[in-house]
Amino acid sequence: MDLSWMAWTQPTAIFFITIATLIVSMSVWEYFSPGGGPRVGILQYETTRGDRLFISLLSSAFICLAWLGLIGGNLWWAVLLSGIFALLIFLFV
């Protein structure tokens, strides 16, 4: 299979492996503890673990895009900021 048209660099591979790992981990967690206890957080609507994962992944993409647009260059600080933001989402949303 010829995948030379894609930019398969180490950061790209890490990105896709991380997303796949998060989805598989969440699936295993959901299998052993179904439902996840929906709760109402600071957004004032009910969210589940899957909702919070989706919100954190989507916001991480926007954080990285904003970082590239406003600051540019090294994305490791944006990744760190995204991780902290995801942790806050899982704690308070």
Q: Is 47 helix (H, G, I), strand (E, B) or coil?
A: strand
Average pLDDT over residues 24-50: 87
Domain range list for the chain: 10-92
Does the pLDDT of residue 59 top 90, yes or no? Answer: yes
Count CB-CB contacts under 10 A for residue 54: 14
- The mean pLDDT of 35-56, rounded to a whole number, is 87
pLDDT attached to residue 89? 94
**How far is 47 from 41, CA to CA, in rounded Å?**
8
Of the pLDDT bands very low, low, confident and very high (cuts 50, 70, 90), residue 34 is confident
Q: Dihedral through CA 33, CA 49, CA 35, CA 28, nearest 10?
A: -40
- Cα torsion through 15, 63, 53, 24, rounded to 10: 0
